[in-house]
Chains A and B, each alone.
Chain A
Amino acid sequence: MKRKSNKEILVKVLQHIGRYKIFLFCSIVLAAISVILTLYIPILTGQAVDCILGPNAVDFNGILGILKTMVIVILLTAVVQWIMNTCNNKMAYQVVRDVRDEAFKKLEILPLKYIDGHSHGDIVSRIIADVDQFSDGLLMGFTQLFTGVVTIVGTLIFMLSISVSTTIVVVILTPLSFFIAGFIAKRTFNMSKAQSEIRGEQTALIDEMIGNEKVVKAFGHEPQIMNQFDEINGRLQKASVKAIFFSSLTNPCTRFVNSLVYAGVGILGAFLAIKGRISVGQLTSFLSYANQYTKPFNEISGVVTELQTALACAGRVFEFIEEESQIPDQENAVVLDASKGHIQMKNVYFSYNEGQKLIQGFHLDVQPGQRVAIVGPTGCGKTTVINLLMRFYDVNSGSIQIDGVDIRQMTRKSLRENFGMVLQETWLKTGTIRENIVMGKPDATQDEVVAAAKAAHAHSFIKRLPMGYDTVITEDGGSLSQGQKQLLCITRVMLCLPPMLILDEATSSIDTRTEIKISQAFHTLMKGRTSFIVAHRLSTIREADIILVMKDGNIIEQGNHETLLAKENGFYAKLYQSQ
């Protein structure tokens, strides 16, 4: 995959900020104003101190003027800061919203090839965590960087305007804290690495053992595991103490440098004051600058790393958003109404990866209402046929036609609405049982739902759930058994009754007896409907009109049960005997 350069990513980010430019502009201007106002306060304080010389030597008029200015500056600063913060928030969160919406929309039009080929965890973390990181790091980091730089420059100018020599002391001593922080970070790195390695080891053990706690208990293996855990835990303790202690040295050390700067400014300033080069008030201003001056430096060094991570995150998000989408429906795409169910595959070539041939020169003609069963060993391309029929994948060459129209000339929506599909991998969404059943027919009545559930033999177990049809199931079915999930998926199709059916190992997790009952229901369902059935169990496919025996992407035998069985040494015949 092509990596974007930082510049390209920045351009992308700016494009997204585009709509909210006004916020960005305000934020920058206000940041500069707020920094300068903040830095002005110590000067004013110093001036005020200079008005307070001693008993009966206080310039009250002068002080009053200075304090009035101070109050105005303070209030102004606060208002400016608040507006700036609000601008930043609005900008950051709206950009995040936009990017997430965009990413999610992308998700729905990505070719399945991408979704099948990438780790879901990775995609999720791009849409959720990376977007957050990038808004925090990039938008906030940017303002921090900006204010940091303005603060440093401003402080330098203010300091120089008071005393050059004292400024030099500050400028020379400050990098010390950088140096120390860097030194500690380098030392800490190895210790943290050791710590996270042991932590990883421990997490792996926890994951493995608690994940299979039931087996652990069945074998009474708890004490052994406890010992193993203790040993790792002990090592982790040692490593953690070291890592945490050393990394926690950064703060005291930089504070120490700060104190040294403070002392230096104090001594030098006092001498200058004796010589009358600066006033006591100016010394006060200086001291508070000395306290502040190192802070933006420490912050900036943090911000730079944060910006780098943020850029990397932004890069990952945009990379995802810019993935190639599936080919959109043609402009003049046909809407397939209720299909007759005449399916033809003409000279179809297809493979998932270039170089790895799969389906080659595939021909098939299914008359309306016929039942097609596809059998063959694992990996022979059974599921691929379905991927092609539903247009989850497009053929490389050749064509698939329904009622004489190439499916690429139809809208995907109308094509898929004509198919009812039950897959081996059951999938349920978070929500009630009912919501899951009515997916294909949102306006179904309760009676229709129950009837469908009864037909799929799911009613009896749904009834026994705590809230019946209103039981909320968690992500991917949660506590339901594999077989129960499959029954729900079947119910889903039973409800919407599309003209064509695809059953991909639809009953693989269901016991044979229930399976027979369901297949009776399917039987009625399939009457007059063109259907495709993929199954391991030969018993389920005996009654098909066409049986396709596939091997290595090719149809090696084709016919009905009797004719295929009659073939001596036929693949199907052998398969059938072995069961």
Chain B
Amino acid sequence: MRSLLVYMKQYKKESVLAPLFKMLEASFELMVPLVMAAIIDHGISTKDTGYIFKMGGILVLLAVVGLTSSVTAQYFSARAAVGFATKLRNALFSHIQDLSYTELDTLGTSTLITRMTSDVNQLQNGVNLTLRLLLRSPFIVFGAMIMAFTVDVKAALIFVVAIPLLAIVVFGIMIVSMPLYKKVQAALDKILGRTRENLAGARVIRAFCKEESEIAGFETENEILLNTQVFVGKISAAMNPVTYIIVNIALVVLLWTGAVRVDNGIITQGAVVALVNYMSQILVELVKMANLIIQITKALACAKRIESVFDVQVSMENGSVKQIMTHNDQEGIVFDKVCLTYNGGGDESLTDINFTVKMGQTIGIIGGTGSGKTSVVNLIPRFYDATKGSVQIGRRDIKEYDIDTLRQMIGVVPQKAVLFKGTIRENLLWGNENATEEELEYALEVSQAKEFVDTKEGRLDFMVAQGGKNLSGGQKQRLTIARAIVRSPRILILDDSASALDFATDAKLRQAIKDMNKDMIVIIVSQRSSSIQHADQIIVMEDGRVAGIGTHNQLLEQNEIYQEIYYSQFPKKKEAAK
């Protein structure tokens, strides 16, 4: 939590004023028993009606002043808590934007989203409650004790014994039950997980006749949950009765002591009533405090989770070169003995990759599932850093480039066609904010998206729903390609991004891209032989290694794996080759 306090800085004033006004309210509350005692001791015994009215007026006044300071406190605390949460959310979001792929993989998307939303909200509530109550409750408890001292020192000693005792009981029970509640949560998570699994896997579970064993498993887990709950319940059920005993026994002792002291003429009857009132104020506050502490513990847990995201350091260092590659660089991209191991990923995913791409070349990468095709292209825009060896663009290690500059040169079309909520135009402008209308149209044409965009209402202003749900898979793919083309990149990477297109469109697309820019390097990753067949160089990947590089004809002659892939898709050609 400590490291998060910086986001509170701007709200220093509010976070001081809020508790201050709360304490003010509390002090007025603490006056009430004294006023009442005065009414009893002076008003009633001397039958002074004017005095009673005056004191009654004071009670109302105390109530009004109390209300005012409390409202002020609520205002400041709301401002401070919300302000803090706003700053925190902002910083967290910005931090996430800085993370690299490696960190995103480790943290996981869904975790990040819950951190950003529910955790921050919980923390906001926690801060709000803390500002309002954390000082107030102890203040009333100790304030009541101090007021008791002003009434009568000896009687007040009862408070001195009772309060620590209460504190021990309340905190003791909480400390014991807190970890148990965590256990309850864990048990609940388990049965939730099983339920979800059984829904998603209903067919498989039934196909393997696993219903009985799933039910048995659920019942066992459910029983564990029950036992933990009942156990925790027994402990926390003791809280109220025990505190009740302590406070009321203290009350009994107080009455007895009071009786003795009144008999000796040391204090008055009104004073005894005041002491009794203070005792009951303490009881009320303690209950509130116990609840508050539960809330704060929850909020602290959230704070810890948020902090853990902040603690994740960006593993990639930025370079300084802001100059993009030039046409004269003969060697466009060079992979020099590149190896890659993903974080926590056991074996190497890429081993000793070597190849060189000249300016203007089209490269095809082909290979089986999990052979490392995507891993190779992910290294080029520095989505991941090679663990060994180096990747160079324009004769410079890509680590020397400023990352934004580097990615500016590259247009990537990822495997998963992702579009964002907004118009088609807005989506295309992701590629280049300053693109002209002509450039957008051109990109649509090249990506073969024009024909369907033309049929959409409003064309470029057609609203794409979140996740592109109102477009078909092939349409989405073509738009993501257009988006990359809008960048007019030096290097265009198509990562299996034409899989939803039919063969004819795929071919037209490849031709159009070829005609775009003579200097552009195009890298096509595909499982389809036909998509890469005409590339200047084809890289065949197998188990994270390069199994062959060459043109289609060379590979078809020499490379066994390539032959297998090719003939698996063109069986008729095989017969012809024989």
Please give the residue numbers on chain A whose beta carbons come within 8 Å of chain B beta carbons, in ascending order. Answer: 41, 45, 48-49, 51-58, 60, 63, 67, 70-71, 74-75, 77-79, 81-82, 85-86, 89-90, 93-94, 96-97, 100-101, 104-105, 107-109, 112, 115, 120, 123-124, 127-128, 199, 202-204, 206-222, 224-226, 229-230, 233-234, 236-237, 240-241, 244-245, 248-249, 251-253, 255-256, 259-260, 262-263, 266-267, 270-271, 273-274, 280, 283-284, 287-288, 291, 390, 392, 412-413, 416-417, 419, 421, 423, 427-430, 439-440, 460-461, 464-466, 475-476, 481, 483-484, 489, 509-516, 539
Is B565's CB under 8 angstroms from A48's CB? no
- Known contacts: A74-B249, A97-B223, A233-B86. The answer to whether A210 contacts B96 by CB under 8 A is yes
B230 contact set on A, CB distance < 8 A: 89-90, 93
Stretch at the interface among B52-60, B149-157, B291-299: B52-60
Per CB-CB distance, the 5 closest pairs between chain A and chain B, nearest first, are A55-B265, A85-B237, A89-B233, A259-B63, A483-B369
With A220-B404, A466-B346 as contacts: A233 and B90 at CB distance below 8 Å? yes
The distance from the CB of A523 to the nearest CB of chain B, in whole angstroms, is 15
Bound complex: CA A267 to CA B36 (Å): 9
Is B196 in the interface zone, CB < 8 Å from A? yes
Q: Given A288-B280, A509-B369, are A67 and B256 also a contact pair (CB < 8 Å)?
A: yes
- B215 contacts partner chain A, Cβ-Cβ < 8 Å: yes
Contact with A along B92-104 (1 / 0, CB 8 A): 0110111111001
Contact B56 A266 (CB under 8 A): yes
Q: Are B383 and A217 in touch, CB under 8 angstroms? A: yes
Q: Let me know if A263 and B56 touch, CB within 8 A.
A: yes
With both chains docked as a complex, state the minimum distance between the C-beta of B386 and any C-beta of chain A, in angstroms. Answer: 18
A416 touches B233 (CB 8 A): no
**If the complex has contacts A45-B255, A513-B368, are A245 and B116 also in contact, measured as CB distance less than 8 A?**
no
- Type the 1/0 row for B338-382, where 1 means its CB is closer than 8 Å to any CB of A: 000000111100000000000000000001111100000000010
User: Is B407 a contact partner of A218 (Cβ separation < 8 A)?
Assistant: yes
Q: List the A side residues contacting B109 at CB < 8 Å.
A: 210-211, 213
Q: Please, which residues of chain A bring their CB within 8 A of the CB of B192?
A: 124, 128
- How many positions in chain B have a CB within 8 Å of any CB in the partner chain? 149
The residues of B that contact A510 with a CB separation of less than 8 Å are 369
Q: Which of B428-470 contact A (CB under 8 A)?
A: 430-431, 433, 466-467
Contact call A284/B568, Cβ cutoff below 8 A:
no
Residue of A81, A237, A419 touching B241 (CB-CB under 8 A): A81
In the bound complex, CA of A216 to CA of B100 (Å): 11
* CB within 8 Å for A266 and B208 given contacts A220-B407, A464-B347: no
Q: How far is the CA of A77 from the CA of B487 in the complex (A)?
A: 77
Indicate if the CB atoms of B193 and A475 lie closer than 8 Å: yes
B97 to chain A, nearest CB (A): 4
Q: Is the CB of A427 within 8 A of B201?
A: yes
Inter-chain contact B78/A49, CB cutoff 8 Å: no
Contact present for A204 and B66 (CB under 8 Å): no
Say whether B113 contacts A211, CB under 8 Å: yes
What's the least CB distance linking A423 to chain B, in Å? 6
Residues of chain A within 8 A (CB-CB) of B249 are 71, 74
Contact A252 B70, CB 8 Å, known A82-B238, A97-B223: yes
Stretch at the interface among B269-277, B393-401, B514-522: B269-277
Structural contact, A218 and B70, CB atoms closer than 8 A: no
Query: A49-B273, A74-B245, A202-B117 provided; 6 other pairs, C-beta below 8 A?
Result: A74-B248, A222-B98, A244-B78, A245-B79, A253-B67, A267-B59
What are the residues of chain A within 8 A of B329 when measuring CB–CB?
none
- When A52-B262, A259-B59, A260-B63 are in contact, do A128 and B188 touch as well, CB less than 8 Å? yes
Inter-subunit contact B237/A214 (CB<8 Å): no
Knowing A52-B272, A208-B466, A484-B369, say if A101 contacts B219 (CB, 8 Å). yes
A251 contact set on B, CB distance < 8 A: 70
Closest residue of chain B to A244 (Cβ to Cβ) is B78
A539 contacts B571, C-beta separation under 8 Å: yes
Is B36 a contact partner of A484 (Cβ separation < 8 A)? no
Q: How far is the CA of A115 from the CA of B205 in the complex (A)?
A: 13
Roughly how many angstroms separate A510 CA and B568 CA in the complex, as a whole number?
Answer: 13
Report the minimum CB–CB distance from A94 to chain B (whole Å): 7
What is the minimal beta-carbon distance from B462 to any residue of chain A, in angstroms?
18
- Judging by beta carbons under 8 Å apart, are A221 and B430 in contact? yes
Q: Compute how far the CA of A377 lies from the CA of B168 in the bound complex, rounded to whole angstroms.
A: 72
Tell me if B301 is interfacial: C-beta within 8 Å of chain A. no
Task: Enumerate 17 A-B pairs (CB-CB under 8 Å) in ascending A order.
Answer: A74-B248, A93-B229, A101-B222, A128-B195, A206-B116, A212-B418, A212-B420, A213-B97, A215-B414, A249-B74, A256-B64, A259-B62, A260-B63, A280-B269, A412-B209, A512-B569, A513-B368
**Which residues of the partner chain B approach A428 to less than 8 Å between Cβ atoms?**
201
Per-position 1/0 for B30-57, Cβ under 8 A of A: 0010001001100110010100110110
Which one, A41, A212, A280, A413, contacts B273 given CB within 8 A? A280
Check A263 against B222 for contact (C-beta < 8 Å).
no
Does B161 touch A at the CB level, under 8 Å?
no
Distance between Cα atoms of A214 and B188 in the complex (Å): 33
Say yes or no for B408: interface residue by CB 8 A criterion: yes
Task: Say whether B200 contacts A51, CB under 8 Å.
Answer: no
Task: Provide the bound-state CA to CA distance between A59 and B25, in Å.
Answer: 38
Which A residues are in CB contact (< 8 Å) with B561? 513
B218-259 at interface with A (beta carbon < 8 Å) = 218-219, 222-223, 225-226, 229-230, 233-234, 237-238, 240-242, 244-245, 248-249, 251-252, 255-256, 258-259
A267 to B49, CA, bound (A): 9
Q: Which of A60, A215, A244, A271 contacts B263 (CB 8 A)?
A: A60
Known: A79-B241, A128-B188. A208 touches B421 (CB 8 A): yes
Does B199 contact A107, Cβ atoms closer than 8 Å? Answer: yes
Q: Please indicate the chain B residues that have their CB under 8 angstroms from the CB of A259 in the complex.
A: 32, 59-60, 62-63, 66
Q: Please give me the residue from chain B that is nearest to A482 by CB atom.
A: B369
B contact residues around A57 at 8 Å (CB) = 263
**Closest Cβ of chain B: how far from A476's Cβ, in Å?**
6
Bound-state CA distance A435–B219 (Å) is 20
Q: Which chain A residues lie closer than 8 Å to B431 at the CB level?
A: 219
Q: Across the interface, do A274 and B265 meet the contact criterion of CB distance under 8 Å?
A: no
A416 to chain B: which residues have CB within 8 Å? 206-209
Give Cα A58 to B266, complex, Å.
Answer: 13
Which residue in A74, A100, A199, A513 is a CB contact (below 8 Å) of B252? A74
Q: Which of A218, A283, A284, A412 contacts B412 (CB 8 A)?
A: A218
Whether, in the assembled complex, B75 has its beta carbon less than 8 Å from a beta carbon of chain A, the answer is yes
Whether A120 touches B49, Cβ cut-off 8 Å, given contacts A93-B226, A412-B206, is: no
Residues of B within 8 A of A77 (CB): 241, 244
Residues of chain B in range 63-121 having any CB-CB distance to chain A below 8 Å = 63-64, 66-67, 70-71, 74-75, 77-79, 81-83, 85-86, 89-90, 93-94, 96-101, 104, 109, 112-113, 116-117, 121
Q: Is the CB of A101 within 8 A of B218?
A: yes
Contact with A along B203-218 (1 / 0, CB 8 A): 1111111110011001
Alpha-carbon distance between A260 and B407 when the two chains are bound, in angstroms: 68
| A55-B263 CB under 8 A given contacts A81-B241, A273-B44, A427-B203 | yes
Least CB distance from B85 to A in Å reads: 8
Assembled-state Cα–Cα distance A234/B87 (Å): 10
B543 interfacial by beta-carbon distance below 8 Å: yes
Per the bound structure, the CA–CA distance linking A512 and B262 in Å amounts to 98
* A196 CB → nearest B CB, Å: 11
Q: Across the interface, do A214 and B101 meet the contact criterion of CB distance under 8 Å?
A: yes
Residues on the A chain within 8 Å of B117, using CB: 202-203, 206
**With the chains together, A273 CA to B42 CA distance in Å?**
12
A49, A63, A105, A283 interface centre (most CB from chain B within 10 Å) = A49
Q: How far is the CB of B9 from chain A (nearest CB, A)?
A: 16
| Nearest residue, chain B, Cβ from A392 | B203
Most buried by B among A211, A253, A428: A211
B196, A266: Cβ atoms under 8 Å?
no
- From the candidates A100, A203, A204, A229, name the one contacting B191 in the complex (CB within 8 A): A100
Residues of B near A481 (CB, < 8 A) are 369-370
Which A residue sits closest to B225, measured CB to CB? A97
Question: B407: which A residues are within 8 A, CB to CB?
Answer: 217-220
